[in-house]
């Protein structure tokens, strides 16, 4: 009997391997993997580097605009070029707007309520529409006064306590989004536990969205295991209950304040006013607002850290940006959104920050809803499709000196922002993704980055720190911290110095504000 069972299992394995081989020989080229398991173990750590053509990569000789991997029979397609991503994710969006199934991140941790991770279905359309109506280009403008206030507070905190600049950037980004989403007053260190808790939600979801991070994603049959055996299921369900309770309490507070006229205009007020029209139940509405914060705070603060790193490494860029600010704004007041059109180099600096070190280098995997052919290669139905934003933002044909931080690449001969990048919504980069799944909060993020960067450069010189030996400390341009989807520079030290007339010009902004 045992021999017959072994023969039966062996026959199943041979049939499985034969089927995978027959299908995969038409896939795009990719690195050789292990029998049955394929390339699972090659996904560990800094995978955007591995998917990208670079010297020393084990996949260097296999590079092409579209690469395929085999995750134990699950095909994964990597898009490394703007053309491939635009052709598929923009022009064939009906086929490539679905999400991969995230059993842990999309179903257990978030109960199918994180619309960034769920399938292209009715719930996604309703929740996405609610987010879009509150954060589109026109709607985002009403948050500008909040962002100007937060930018001034950030400058004050950097002036008073420069050694903790990283914490100030994180808190400022969180405060901006919380004020915009829930109408909160500006937050301080006392609110750090709440910010930390929501950022932890972001990290849990991000890690759960990494292909291969959980075995149940590769072997879905494991999801049928009972709760007491399946730790990921037990813990995920507990977190979902806690997070839902918190998000519902936030939205309930807004509703209560709105009825008494005490709530400031914010995303949640608009969401509640239109909840019936948008056909959202209470849990869906609470998670729409919650995801707006969870998705916006960590990414914006990480982009600001990239900006600080760039200023330390490229002082000539900082000087040119400060020259433009001084000529337009002067030294008597902080920059504001009224200066936007007159500060093209600052606009270009924001673009370069997002291109040079994208904080979401691989985005979130899509799923091919139907089988497709692209440039002679077969993409099977159900394949995971990943846009390698890191590689696209380093395309040598578009950015010849791609590893250098050079905002001028986005300006035309007259010094104005160049609009030539047609496949990138004229942004010049693809940091916010593609098609119907493009980042819904990008307008709010771009506004925050513009006013924060302009105010920091107006107020402060940013330089290398000096070590105990008297030498300048040069931070690594490549070292990073990977939290899953979000990647930011590794911790580094630097020096902030107040520029001329800052204290006098800041006097009206800093009354009653404190870093303590």
219/8 Cα distance (integer angstroms) = 20
**97 within 8 A of 120, measured Cβ to Cβ:** yes
Strand 384-387 relative to strand 74-79, pairing: parallel
Cβ atoms 58, 19 nearer than 8 A: no
CA 187 to mean position of chain CA atoms: 22
- Residue 439 annotated as lining a ligand binding site: yes
User: What is the C-alpha separation between 438 and 135, in angstroms, rounded?
Assistant: 13
User: How many Å is the Cα radius of gyration of the chain?
Assistant: 24
HEC readout, 382-415: CCEEEECHHHHCCCCCCCCCCCCCCHHHHECCCC
Q: How far apart are CA 496 and CA 459, in angstroms?
A: 10
488, 306 contact by CB (below 8 A): yes
Residue 493 in contact with residue 166, Cβ under 8 Å? Answer: no
The residues pairing with 68 across neighbouring beta strands, listed in sequence order, are 77
Give CA–CA dist 69/60, Å, rounded: 15
Beta strand segments in 165-245, E: none
Annotated binding-site ranges: 439
Annotated binding-site ranges for heme: 439
């Amino acid at each position: 009997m045992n021999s017959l069972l072994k023969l039966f299992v062996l026959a199943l394995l041979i049939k499985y391997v034969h089927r995978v081989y027959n299908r995969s020989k038409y896939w795009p080229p990719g690195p050789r993997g292990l029998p049955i398991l394929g390339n699972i173990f090659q996904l560990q750590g800094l995978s955007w580097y591995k998917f990208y053509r670079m010297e020393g990569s084990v996949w260097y000789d296999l590079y092409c605009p579209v690469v395929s991997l085999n995750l134990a029979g699950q095909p994964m397609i990597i898009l490394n070029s703007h053309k491939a991503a635009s052709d598929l994710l923009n022009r064939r969006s009906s086929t490539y707007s679905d999400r991969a199934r995230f059993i842990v991140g999309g179903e257990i941790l978030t109960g199918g309520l994180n619309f960034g991770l769920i399938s292209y279905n009715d719930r996604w359309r309703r929740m996405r529409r609610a987010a879009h109506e509150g954060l589109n280009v026109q709607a985002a403008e009403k948050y500008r006064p909040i962002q100007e206030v937060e930018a001034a507070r950030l400058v004050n905190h950097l002036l008073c306590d420069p050694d903790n600049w990283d914490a100030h950037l994180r808190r400022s980004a969180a405060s901006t989004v919380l004020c915009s989403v829930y109408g909160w007053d500006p937050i301080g260190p006392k609110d750090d536990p709440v910010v930390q808790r929501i950022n932890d939600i972001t990290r849990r979801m991000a890690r759960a969205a990494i292909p291969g991070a959980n075995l149940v994603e590769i072997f879905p049959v494991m999801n049928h295991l009972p709760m007491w055996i399946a730790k990921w299921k037990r813990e995920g369900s507990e977190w979902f209950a806690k997070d839902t309770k918190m998000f519902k309490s936030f939205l309930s507070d807004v509703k209560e304040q709105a009825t008494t006229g005490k709530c400031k205009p914010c995303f949640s007020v608009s969401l509640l006013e239109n909840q019936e029209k948008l056909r959202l139940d209470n849990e869906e509405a609470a998670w729409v607002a919650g995801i707006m914060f969870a998705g916006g705070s960590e990414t914006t603060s990480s982009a600001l850290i990239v900006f600080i790193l760039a200023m330390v490494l490229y002082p000539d860029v900082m000087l040119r940006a400060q020259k433009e600010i001084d000529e337009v704004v002067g030294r008597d007041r902080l920059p504001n959104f009224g200066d936007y059109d007159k500060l093209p180099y600052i606009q270009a600096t924001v673009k370069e920050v997002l291109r040079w070190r994208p904080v979401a280098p691989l985005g979130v995997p899509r799923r091919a809803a139907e089988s497709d052919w692209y440039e002679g290669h077969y993409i099977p139905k159900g394949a995971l499709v990943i846009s390698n934003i890191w590689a696209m933002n380093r395309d040598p044909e578009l950015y010849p000196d791609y590893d250098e931080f050079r905002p001028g690449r986005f300006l035309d001969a007259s010094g104005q922002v160049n609009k030539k990048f047609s496949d990138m919504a004229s942004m010049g980069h693809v940091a916010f993704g593609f098609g119907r799944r493009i980042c819904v909060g990008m307008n709010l993020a771009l506004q925050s980055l513009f006013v924060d960067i302009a105010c920091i450069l107006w107020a402060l010189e940013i330089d290398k720190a000096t070590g105990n030996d008297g030498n300048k400390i040069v931070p690594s341009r490549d070292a990073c911290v990977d939290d899953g989807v979000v990647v930011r520079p590794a911790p580094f030290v630097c020096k902030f110095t107040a520029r001329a007339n800052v204290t006098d010009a800041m006097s009206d902004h800093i009354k009653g504000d404190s870093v303590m």
